[in-house]
Chain A
């Protein structure tokens, strides 16, 4: 009886988990199926859409890579992401260290204040920012995104790093100071090497957040050769072709790449969101 119950519990568990996994992954499964399906097969209404009624094809991928600006979108995304990562590190690492070590109670409040600015939504700021970008002459350049994206990466990354730096015992640094390092020397030579995993998290986070961003890119950039994947795929691939094959391939490839990267680091981001709410 007990083992029957246990078995039934297991099958309920598997059923629940399978349902949720299907619900969550369905749009991506659908992209995958569509990517390799012949156009004729796709647009024949009576065909079972879950099966390959005709042999799979690579024609959509070929079209995506050679007949659209997809590779340019990827390159733009990568350039913006890399630049944002660098700016974020240069600003957030010193800020977080300073908050973690020196400022005491004020530092704590300041840290929370900086984190709260992460909650100011881009949809509230995009109108004045698009004007500022235009005034600076950055309209229709990747610089506009490189310049603006740190507004959401810096607050969150400073907050994440603050937690990391706090977890490094002060004694280690004090020993380094006694050994003759300067304050900055102690930070660069002793604390940073111990925070590699924290810094790596910030790198991944700043990159994926830049890749996810939508509204700023939509407002600042309209020339197709300067778009990132997040706006290039939805606006250009639909606009030019409205062919579902290349469009789905174009949505699937960046999604999977960034999802793999993100999933590895997710728990650390969540620790940032909950910020000590779990003890």
Chain B
């Protein structure tokens, strides 16, 4: 009995100490999860996009590239593709400029910094669906406080007002303004992430370099453009890449604020895929539309990967 117990515990210890086996066992669940619930659906999305599957009949019978051709010829899709790029590019450009200013401000010490930090981070830390509801009420067609301020300042709703004689601007009801609203909300949402990432980069720049440059007579702008920004570039590109991925693929802002309207003027790939694939039940076309998100995501991933690697070498 004692003998078998020792033997047993010996074998047991052996398994517990077999590093090769253990390491494979420990990593297996993660790889399995990712393979089954990310890898497999990705393949399934491609299969759907090449088939005639609908919610009612999800069996896969191949129709070649018919869905892609139909999708590309659809004017709503073309608009969505264009909008997705516009929203992403414009909001990220705004984020780059604003986050640079904000990060430099937050680099200083001042009273109430903790509370300011909490407030500035809110758009990123609070659920985007809930933050967007706040925007929805601020951009309300009748009770918008922004309109109220403009009216109060005499810029809106008066006979000779600059912004028109209507008492309201109808932020979400006019194509151009609806687009601007979506861009503002995306900028608002991504600003905190970029700022905090940049802040990390700014703190890492050795102060001696800047001091030495100042002693050598380099002014503020010269230091900014020839030292700070070049040193900041790698970290800034990371911030922008994440921003691009999150904005390009987001659905919550458009879904809640405009449902893609008015007249599809704010429709984006993600929302159009949802309306086609889930609400109209056309799995095949929905999947084909969503797949257009893939190239941008893959490119961003490749660039992030490259910058991670480059950093590892140095």
Contact segment of B67-75, B130-138, B173-181, B211-219: B130-138
B138 contacts A30, C-beta separation under 8 Å = yes
Q: Which 5 A-B pairs have the closest CB atoms?
A: A27-B134, A121-B249, A94-B26, A255-B126, A95-B30
New A-B pairs, 15, CB < 8 Å, besides A25-B122, A125-B42, A229-B127? A20-B102, A20-B105, A23-B188, A48-B148, A95-B27, A121-B297, A122-B249, A124-B294, A128-B41, A208-B125, A230-B127, A263-B117, A274-B201, A275-B311, A278-B204
B29 contacts A94, C-beta separation under 8 Å = yes
* Chain B residues positioned under 8 Å from A48 (CB to CB): 148
Identify which of residues 72-112 in chain A touch chain B, using a CB-to-CB cut-off of 8 Å: 90-92, 94-95, 97-99, 101-103, 108, 110, 112
A121 contacts B293, C-beta separation under 8 Å = yes
A211 to B17, CA, bound (A): 39
Chain A nearest CB from B207 CB (Å) reads 15
Contact segment of B85-93, B222-230, B300-308: B300-308
Identify which of residues 181-217 in chain B touch chain A, using a CB-to-CB cut-off of 8 Å: 188, 191-193, 196-197, 200-201, 204
Which of chain B's residues has its CB closest to A31's CB? Answer: B134
Identify which of residues 42-93 in chain A touch chain B, using a CB-to-CB cut-off of 8 Å: 42-43, 45, 48-50, 90-92
Chain A nearest CB from B234 CB (Å) reads 6
A146 to B24, CA, bound (A): 25
- Using a CB–CB cutoff of 8 Å, the interface residues on chain A facing chain B are 10, 13-14, 16-17, 20-21, 23-28, 30-31, 34, 42-43, 45, 48-50, 90-92, 94-95, 97-99, 101-103, 108, 110, 112, 114, 116-117, 119-132, 147-148, 150-151, 154-155, 158, 182-185, 208, 211-212, 214-215, 218-219, 229-231, 233-234, 238, 244, 247-248, 251-252, 254-256, 258-260, 262-263, 266-267, 270-271, 273-279
B131 contacts A114, C-beta separation under 8 Å = no
Chain A nearest CB from B40 CB (Å) reads 8
B37 contacts A24, C-beta separation under 8 Å = no
A95 to B45, CA, bound (A): 27
A234 to B134, CA, bound (A): 10
Across the interface, B34 reaches (CB within 8 A) one of A20, A28, A117, namely A117
* Chain A residues positioned under 8 Å from B128 (CB to CB): 212, 214
Across the interface, B48 reaches (CB within 8 A) one of A90, A117, A127, namely A127
Chain B nearest CB from A178 CB (Å) reads 13
B129 contacts A214, C-beta separation under 8 Å = yes
Q: Interface size class for chain B?
A: 35 or more
A182 to B15, CA, bound (A): 10
B287 contacts A128, C-beta separation under 8 Å = yes
Q: Tell me, yes or no, whether B162 is within 8 Å of chain A by CB.
A: no
* Chain B residues positioned under 8 Å from A17 (CB to CB): 105-106, 110, 116
A229 to B231, CA, bound (A): 42
Q: Tell me, yes or no, whether B5 is within 8 Å of chain A by CB.
A: no
A120 contacts B297, C-beta separation under 8 Å = yes
A25 to B274, CA, bound (A): 30
Which of chain B's residues has its CB closest to A147's CB? Answer: B37
A215 contacts B251, C-beta separation under 8 Å = yes
Among B25, B108, B127, max chain A CB count under 10 A is at B127
B127 contacts A255, C-beta separation under 8 Å = yes
**CB within 8 Å for A101 and B23 given contacts A125-B45, A277-B235:** yes
Chain B nearest CB from A95 CB (Å) reads 4
A102 contacts B249, C-beta separation under 8 Å = no
Identify which of residues 123-153 in chain B touch chain A, using a CB-to-CB cut-off of 8 Å: 123, 125-135, 137-138, 140, 142-143, 145, 148
5 A-B pairs with CB atoms under 8 Å apart are A45-B143, A91-B30, A94-B25, A184-B22, A259-B118
**CB within 8 Å for A112 and B41 given contacts A121-B249, A230-B129, A277-B234:** no
A126 contacts B117, C-beta separation under 8 Å = no
A182 to B11, CA, bound (A): 12
A184 contacts B238, C-beta separation under 8 Å = no
B137 contacts A273, C-beta separation under 8 Å = no
* Chain B residues positioned under 8 Å from A114 (CB to CB): 30-31, 34
Q: Tell me, yes or no, whether B263 is within 8 Å of chain A by CB.
A: no
A24 contacts B122, C-beta separation under 8 Å = yes
A175 to B254, CA, bound (A): 56
Chain A nearest CB from B241 CB (Å) reads 9
Which of chain A's residues has its CB closest to B106's CB? Answer: A17
B274 contacts A99, C-beta separation under 8 Å = no
Across the interface, B301 reaches (CB within 8 A) one of A16, A119, A185, namely A119
B23 contacts A102, C-beta separation under 8 Å = yes
**CB within 8 Å for A278 and B201 given contacts A20-B102, A99-B27, A255-B127:** yes
Q: Tell me, yes or no, whether B160 is within 8 Å of chain A by CB.
A: no
Q: Tell me, yes or no, whether B161 is within 8 Å of chain A by CB.
A: no
